[in-house]
Structure 1
């Protein structure tokens, strides 16, 4: 067998085989292959994983072996998009659903402190603490998915803001205690938890606006989706 004559064919085959190892030959050529078997006086190089294509070489012709990263894995690593940050997801949800990104972030901070795996005692889940029933109505299949959860929560905030004519206080009260409670008391229900929740979210929202200097703090109830500060 003439080794040099086989090199061109072997290199062509190996380019299709995504080899993980390289055989270095005495004549300076190399052969990429998947696996090998050593026999007395010879070595068999398998070009594919199925071991259908192979070549036998005199052991004396092989000077050594070296590893090569799998091109498939390398391509997957280079083409796989990195996970989106919460900030990126919030920005996208803000644009899609028309709710101020700082308002969404303020709700997230109060609801879960940014923990995508958070679960409350009542069963609310994810960054924006969606109850299973609410999540289902919003089309959220996985509440622990940051992207699904934030988009679902932002959509719900938008619906509530429209329901209460842009009143951020009633919107937050309904988000926390439910629309029925807001309707029953015609405003923030006399629940300590809900009252503190509304105050904290609005304070965080106004602080965010002051910090970024994008809007000045005020005591208006302007629709957060249109900018401006919520009432304290």
Structure 2
């Protein structure tokens, strides 16, 4: 009888231990599942295409982006697009070449003048070779921008819509060719803080303020050097 009771007790203990093991394993699986789900939610999307209005391909409903030089970069806005969303995706860190290479036969774009650009680090070549834009970018936040190289290069009509361009440029290191060929631009930039700028070659070459030193930033550690302007033969 004692042996029977002992065997019964051992059997119950084995069943109980097995049940506890299964329960612990299930809890671990649930926890792992939650952790994986959390990782997926927190994972940053690095690549997506533009999403267009189905009835009007000249309007972008959601802006696309990709990864370039370790920065989430806006996809270039196609030349047929006339309207973009009023909000910039929070993932974007670079506006490299966003509105570049737009000429007289292309559409002008509206919708980006009040974008929240506080996370942007790279604004290089945003309006390079844009021959039609002359909007007001006064509301763009540039406090974290490090690269403005070629931003308005050959943007021949740009003058910030005739309004002052009072940007914060504390972190910018490159302004090379920023206004090179921007022949209409004549705003006063003397109040720009350019202490960290180490590259400024051709900054104002051929611009509307090329020969007006009283409108140029007060360079701290470097002098502005400009290559000769190529004259048509």
Q: Same fold (TM over 0.5)?
A: no
Higher relative contact order (CA 8 A, sep 6+): 1
Larger radius of gyration: 1
Structure with the higher fraction of residues in strand conformation = 1
With structure 2 as the length reference, what TM-score do the two structures score? 0.30
Q: TM-score, normalised by structure 1?
A: 0.30
Name the one with the larger helix percent: 1
